[in-house]
Amino acid sequence: MSIRRTALETLTEITDKGAYANLTLKEALRGLEERDAKWVSAAVYTTLGHLLYIDHVIAAYTKGSIKPQIRGILRLGVCQVLYMGVPDSAACNESVKLAKEIGKGPLSGFVNGVMRNICRNKDNPPPLPGEPVKRLSIQYSYPEYLVKEYMGQYGAGFTEAMLSAMSDPGCMTVRAQYPYTSEQLEKALEERSIGFSRGRIVEDAFKLEKGLDVTKEPLFTEGRITVQSESAMLVCRALEPKEGMHILDVCAAPGGKSAYMASLTQGGAVIDSWELHAHRAELMKRTFERLGVTANVKVMDGTVRHPELYGKYDAVLIDAPCSGLGVPGKPDARYAKTDAIIDEIAGIQKKLLDACADYVKPGGVLIYATCTISKRENEEQAKAFMERNGCFEKGELSGCLPKDMWKRLYEGFMLQLFPHTDGTEGFFLAKMIRR
């Protein structure tokens, strides 16, 4: 099977059948050589990231409905021409070959004609709609309902800047794991001539300027470093973990936050790490083994109340399941999540907050976090929780932030990060203290 057919079948599973991109790609790439795997992954994710605009271009040169497989071939072909630097002739020829390879030879002439028309006119693209919501939806490949919601929440200019930044997956961010130090990591990267910048919000974050295959890096395999976003590190610092604390990480897989809290306390905290799904709990155990972390991994449903645990923990972290719409590297999420699904997710978040709040002892900390930018899941969720629970008060977040970010806090206890203003994923956190 050609790599383009692999990309086509993978893309079809995601766009037409609702499969998760990361899981589908993982299976599709099994057995491929590294170079081929990188190409397939890039083709699929780049197509997904620009899907609505690609469809807009295709629609300008076609009439009526297009068979799903032919539509997929055209999507991949246009992606190669507009975003991957593939020469026009090669993209056209390979698209025709792909149509024949999947048994659609009679339609290869149609594919050839559409592709050549698009290539001839790529410097004169079809105009975008004048209406702002429709324009931004197509230009940045976000569903209209999301664009409308963001414009209502943040304004048109802010929304466009945010959506533009979301098209960039960003660089890999790593950190040291105790007893390895940030100073040692900095020296190791310099010795390897790997360019980096330190985090603006969390100094432990090292943003790498070029790709690093961590699976082949001894620093990674030996458990001295791990991949983690700067925003995820910030959440752990906001919790203020200290030696002797008993900490609950409710939705803990794949384990990065539990591991960082263990690192910050030099292994001196007792950490309980819960995960709903058994296979993800096993993944977390392997992560902890690699990093030398001691934590109590349990398969637990955080929405189910456990009265025997009431008042047991000094700190509880709820990195809640969410729409994932703040993560640039997951373009499929924006198409899979409907308005109704986001409301359903918000309901689960509410259950998690209400169930786990009772586990916090008086004077203890409750952190609520998501990797999304929807106020329904973020600010509105945290404020509603505070209104329901008079035994909690607003926690102070300024201590874990640079001074120039203090003005960004909502009511002192909430923070929303954005890719275009902070160089991070879209991320939210709220800090509450039990009276």
> Is there a domain that residue 43 lies in?
yes
Beta strands 225-227 and 196-198 are: unpaired
| Domain identity same for 368 and 345 | yes
Question: Tokens 């790609």 label which residue?
Answer: 25
Least reliable range by pLDDT among 9-18, 95-104, 314-323, 334-343: 334-343
User: Which residues on neighbouring strands pair with residue 393, listed in sequence order?
Assistant: 433
| Domain identity same for 255 and 383 | yes
Render pLDDT for 223-235 as a digit per residue (tens, 0 to 9). Answer: 999 999 999 999 9
Domain containing 292 — which CATH number?
A: 3.40.50.150
Q: Which pLDDT band holds residue 393 (cuts at 50, 70, 90)?
A: very high
Check residue 237 and give its pLDDT: 97
Check residue 14 and give its pLDDT: 94
Residue 152 is part of which domain span? 132-166
Check residue 412 and give its pLDDT: 93
Q: How far is CA 111 from the centre of its chain?
A: 34
Mean pLDDT of 348-366: 97
The reply to whether 371 belongs to the active site is yes
| Domain identity same for 402 and 258 | yes
| Domain identity same for 16 and 141 | no
| Domain identity same for 205 and 275 | no
Render pLDDT for 87-121 as a digit per residue (tens, 0 to 9). Answer: 999 999 999 999 999 999 999 999 999 999 999 99
Q: Is the dihedral of CA 233, 236, 241, 245 positive or negative?
A: negative
Please say whether the beta carbons of 237 and 267 come within 8 A: no
The number of beta carbons lying within 10 Å of the beta carbon of residue 231 is 26
Mean pLDDT of 180-207: 94
Report the alpha-carbon angle 370-373-377, nearest 5: 55
| Domain identity same for 426 and 280 | yes
Least reliable range by pLDDT among 26-35, 45-54, 166-175, 264-273: 166-175
352 CB burial (10 A radius; 0-12, 13-18, 19+): buried
| Domain identity same for 86 and 160 | no
Tokens of 220: 């990674």
Domain containing 73 — which CATH number?
A: 1.10.940.10
Which residues, including other chains, have CB under 8 Å from residue 412's CB and lie 6 or more apart? 394, 396, 397, 398
Mean pLDDT of 112-133: 96
> Is there a domain that residue 157 lies in?
yes
Distance CA 9, CA 152 (A): 37
Number of domains in the chain: 4
Which conformational region is residue 113 in: left (phi greater than 0), alpha (psi within -120 to 50 degrees), or beta?
alpha
> Is there a domain that residue 111 lies in?
yes
Is the pLDDT at 335 greater than 90? The verdict is no
Domain containing 223 — which CATH number?
A: 3.30.70.1170
> Is there a domain that residue 327 lies in?
yes
Distance CA 3, CA 8 (A): 9
Distance CA 275, CA 21 (A): 22
Q: Which pLDDT band holds residue 391 (cuts at 50, 70, 90)?
A: very high
Q: Which pLDDT band holds residue 353 (cuts at 50, 70, 90)?
A: very high
Beta strands 246-249 and 313-319 are: parallel
Check residue 64 and give its pLDDT: 87
Please say whether the beta carbons of 46 and 83 come within 8 A: yes
Please say whether the beta carbons of 74 and 15 come within 8 A: no
The number of beta carbons lying within 10 Å of the beta carbon of residue 265 is 18
Q: Which pLDDT band holds residue 338 (cuts at 50, 70, 90)?
A: confident
Please say whether the beta carbons of 264 and 232 come within 8 A: no
Q: Which has the closest alpha carbon to 343: 370, 376, 321?
A: 376
Render pLDDT for 205-222 as a digit per residue (tens, 0 to 9). Answer: 999 987 677 878 899 999
**Domain closes at, from 190, 207, 227:** 227
| Domain identity same for 138 and 193 | no
Report the alpha-carbon angle 143-147-148, nearest 5: 115
| Domain identity same for 203 and 146 | no
243 CB burial (10 A radius; 0-12, 13-18, 19+): exposed
Which of the residues 92, 322, 356, 371 is marked catalytic? 371
> Is there a domain that residue 366 lies in?
yes
The number of beta carbons lying within 10 Å of the beta carbon of residue 156 is 14
> Is there a domain that residue 196 lies in?
yes
Q: Which pLDDT band holds residue 327 (cuts at 50, 70, 90)?
A: confident
> Is there a domain that residue 126 lies in?
no
CA distances in angstroms from 386 to 137, 204, 348, 355, 395, listed in the order given: 34, 31, 17, 14, 11
Which residues, including other chains, have CB under 8 Å from residue 348's CB and lie 6 or more apart? 303, 320, 321
Check residue 135 and give its pLDDT: 98
Q: Which pLDDT band holds residue 312 (cuts at 50, 70, 90)?
A: very high
Distance CA 323, CA 179 (A): 35
| Domain identity same for 205 and 241 | no
Q: Which has the closest alpha carbon to 384: 338, 351, 423?
A: 351
User: Which residues on neighbouring strands pair with residue 207, listed in sequence order?
Assistant: 173, 197
| Domain identity same for 150 and 108 | no
| Domain identity same for 149 and 187 | no
> Is there a domain that residue 125 lies in?
no
